Structure 1
Amino acid sequence: MNIVINEELRAYIDPLTPNEYAALERSMLAEGCRDALVLWGDTLIDGHNRLAICQKHGIEYKTVQNSRFGSIEDVQLWMIDNHLARRSVTDFQRGVLALRKKEIIATRAAVQQESSPAPAADVADSAAEPGAEAPQAGKRNTREDLAKAAGISSNTIGQIEKITKTAAPELVAAVRAGTISINAAAAVASLPASEQAAAVAGGRKELQQAAKQVREMKAASKPPKPPKEGDTAEVSGAANTVGNHSAQDGSDVSLLNRRISELSAENAALKEQIAMLSAALEDARRAA
């Protein structure tokens, strides 16, 4: 039987690690090829590793046809949902697959809008339901929908999207390898690409330190929240009270002035800390 290998489809899903491939090979040598290879016509869409192992060791295998696909995008959507159903898929892989599904569905929705006179509100753009092969009316392709379909949180989806858009290749590889968490990688992805690469070269501890420094700098740079209306009234009332009492007792004014001095000193210390962190990060980049 002539089986065609489409390299685009083979590369669409992350390959097995060497350990995973070796485990699959041992299992097939002991038990044979239990799952049928899935074909779309002559094209293999599921079972690339199993086919290679069968051909290497002369193991018999079966095939099954899936003829309901109308395009390569249909096949890709099926591959995504099929892979998301597996327990061995990491959270990062789940997020990447969910974002790929989002892109396919969004592209289809855009084409449908251009070719259909229907109002935009009626154009479906949802990827929430596993197994969906075409947009369905009345649904939205929200981050929550993607997270639910992928089995991860919407916050994780947002972090993975940031990583895929701004992370250097070295940082993406570190996340895939489990050297750094998704949360920490999203923080490090805020740095210039050269600094990301330097942090990756420094290993796990260097990556964790870089993520910590980024978080601390972001926290220090956040402006203080403006007081609410009720809080403003309380502050004004307190100020008036202090003003009235200060005429009778100058000690209140002294306390306020001392508190202002303390706050000013704390603010200066924070600025100094930010400068030190920035200098340390720059030194680490140069050292790398």
Structure 2
Amino acid sequence: MKIDEELQKLIPPLAEDELKQLESNLKNEGWRSNERIITWNDIIVDGHNRYSICKKYKITFKTQEKKFKDKNEVILWMIDNQLGRRNLPDYARGELNWKKLEILRLKAEENMKLGVTLVSNDTKVDMKNVVAKASNIGDVTASRIKFIRDNADEGTKIKLRSGNRELSINKVYTDLKKKKQREDVIQEFKEAPKLEKTKRKYSIIYADPPWKYFAGGNKNQSIYYKGMEIEEIKNLPINSLANDNCILFLWVTFPILKEAFEVIESWGFDYSTCGFNWVKKNKSGEGWFFGLGNWTRSNSELCLIATKGKPIRQSASVSQIIDTPREEHSKKPDIVRDKIVELVGDLPRIELFARSKTKGWDTWGNEVK
């Protein structure tokens, strides 16, 4: 008799007390006359736990061979069998219903090719809604279960299937989503065509990250970029772009100064000073702009300087204060690039999270035009 790992994974594990009770019953009472381990082509499709316990304690058991058209038919039978269990955790129930629906949709597509319609093949069916109703859960939960199933490690999924109280669908989903976003950003950065082609090292790095800086991430500094969590920004491979002697110019707002210092350190730089303080005028150029602010009304923004190695200052006449009108949302003054070159020279340089290409600068960003 054989065990198919794919089929075995379909069976949500018993709770610890349920497994102990089953083991106790088999040890004390033996195999009941009406019980059977169900097999298909000598592969166990029902009774995995009983089989393991009987093998462990050398208890004699009985089997029953069942006929199925193919493996998908076996899976559908097993899913329906498991869905009949009491106290099945929401994750396990949702995961099983997702698998069932996907197989039924596949069979529907095959039937369409044969000109036969046995189940609905409407491509407009909201699959998460179907799963939600079948599992007695909300649409959002159904969607999150699928995301977890497709992205979580097997150990995490086993815990969720068993109803482990230390984990919840929402917590696992949130953690996975953050991890995936971080990986996607890192991968996107690594695959940026300019970097892939040149593999250059830079002496100047100029960055304006799309910080999420209000609780819950509701306020995003950039409408051009999806807001990034601090950990996502910290994990960008910026250090690999830097020459041994390199200077970083990093735009930051006052509420996230502490986090900005963490980013600087993670990127392999040492904080030096404030390079520029942009005191904003109204778009008309008349009068000072006043933002909201947490305490006082804010109207300035900082561009910090951090260094790696010993970059050299070329000019001692570059002013820290910039007083220019605001333009479109979160766009920084173009003059800053000129001041950077004046300050440290015409060195290899790159602008990260750029909106447009600028002569003399390499750029990286998903909104570069």
Length-normalised TM-score, structure 1:
0.54
Measure, in 2, the Cα distance between the counterparts of 1:215 and 1:107: 44
1:113 aligns with 2:112: yes
Measure, in 2, the Cα distance between the counterparts of 1:222 and 1:49: 54
Q: Which of 10, 13, 25 is 1:12 aligned to?
A: 10
Alignment partner, residue 208 of structure 1 = none
Instruction: Report the CA distance shift for 1:219/1:186 in structure 2 as closer, same or farther (over 3 A).
Output: farther
Q: Where does the alignment leave 5 or more consecutive residues of structure 1 unmatched?
A: 127-136, 197-212, 224-259, 271-288
Following superposition, the deviation at residue 266 of structure 1 comes to: 4.8
Describe the superposition over 1:95-118 as per-residue Cα deviations: whole angstroms up to 9, x where unpaired.
2212211221222222222332x6
CA contact (8 A) 1:73 1:104 kept: yes
Q: Which of 292, 297, 300 is 1:264 aligned to?
A: 292
Q: What is the correspondence of 1:248-287 to structure 2 with a 5 Å cutoff?
A: 264-266=292-294
Letter in 1 for 2:51: L
CA contact (8 A) 2:10 2:96 kept: no
Following superposition, the deviation at residue 76 of structure 1 comes to: 0.5
Report the structure, 1 or 2, having the larger helix content: 1
Following superposition, the deviation at residue 15 of structure 1 comes to: 4.3
Q: Which protein shows a greater Rg?
A: 2
Greater relative contact order (CA < 8 Å, ≥ 6 in sequence)? 2
1:103 aligns with 2:125: no
Q: Where does the alignment leave 5 or more consecutive residues of structure 2 unmatched?
A: 184-211, 223-288, 299-369
1:94 aligns with 2:93: yes
1:182 aligns with 2:169: yes
Alignment partner, residue 54 of structure 1 = 54
Instruction: Report the CA distance shift for 1:162/1:9 in structure 2 as closer, same or farther (over 3 A).
Output: closer
1:154 aligns with 2:139: yes
CA contact (8 A) 1:167 1:189 kept: yes
Describe the superposition over 1:153-190 as per-residue Cα deviations: whole angstroms up to 9, x where unpaired.
32211111222334466765665544232122222222
Following superposition, the deviation at residue 20 of structure 1 comes to: 4.7
Report the structure, 1 or 2, having the larger strand content: 2
CA contact (8 A) 2:213 2:219 kept: no
CA contact (8 A) 2:37 2:46 kept: yes
Following superposition, the deviation at residue 74 of structure 1 comes to: 0.6
Measure, in 1, the Cα distance between the counterparts of 2:16 and 2:173: 27
CA contact (8 A) 1:95 1:150 kept: yes
Measure, in 2, the Cα distance between the counterparts of 1:52 and 1:214: 53
Measure, in 2, the Cα distance between the counterparts of 1:186 and 1:215: 21
Question: How many residues get paired?
Answer: 200
Letter in 1 for 2:146: E
Letter in 2 for 1:73: N
Following superposition, the deviation at residue 81 of structure 1 comes to: 1.4
Following superposition, the deviation at residue 33 of structure 1 comes to: 3.1
Instruction: Report the CA distance shift for 1:175/1:218 in structure 2 as closer, same or farther (over 3 A).
Output: farther
Letter in 2 for 1:114: K
Instruction: Report percent identity of matched pairs.
Output: 29
Instruction: Report the CA distance shift for 1:26/1:160 in structure 2 as closer, same or farther (over 3 A).
Output: same
CA contact (8 A) 1:36 1:61 kept: yes
Alignment partner, residue 42 of structure 1 = 42
| Partner secondary structure for residue 44 of structure 2 | strand
Describe the superposition over 1:240-286 as per-residue Cα deviations: whole angstroms up to 9, x where unpaired.
xxxxxxxxxxxxxxxxxxxx97x82359999xxxxxxxxxxxxxxxx
| Partner secondary structure for residue 292 of structure 2 | helix
Letter in 1 for 2:149: T
Measure, in 2, the Cα distance between the counterparts of 1:214 and 1:84: 44
Measure, in 2, the Cα distance between the counterparts of 1:49 and 1:17: 12
Describe the superposition over 1:82-104 as per-residue Cα deviations: whole angstroms up to 9, x where unpaired.
11211242211222212211221
Instruction: Report the CA distance shift for 1:267/1:217 in structure 2 as closer, same or farther (over 3 A).
Output: farther
Measure, in 2, the Cα distance between the counterparts of 1:167 and 1:79: 23
Letter in 2 for 1:265: G
Alignment partner, residue 119 of structure 2 = 124
Following superposition, the deviation at residue 38 of structure 1 comes to: 1.5
CA contact (8 A) 1:37 1:44 kept: yes
Instruction: Report the CA distance shift for 1:163/1:219 in structure 2 as closer, same or farther (over 3 A).
Output: farther
Q: What is the correspondence of 1:68-87 to structure 2 with a 5 Å cutoff?
A: 69-87=68-86
CA-based RMSD of the aligned residues comes to 4.1
| Partner secondary structure for residue 189 of structure 1 | helix
1:25 aligns with 2:32: no
Instruction: Report the CA distance shift for 1:221/1:85 in structure 2 as closer, same or farther (over 3 A).
Output: farther
Measure, in 2, the Cα distance between the counterparts of 1:190 and 1:175: 17
Length-normalised TM-score, structure 2:
0.44
Measure, in 2, the Cα distance between the counterparts of 1:157 and 1:214: 30
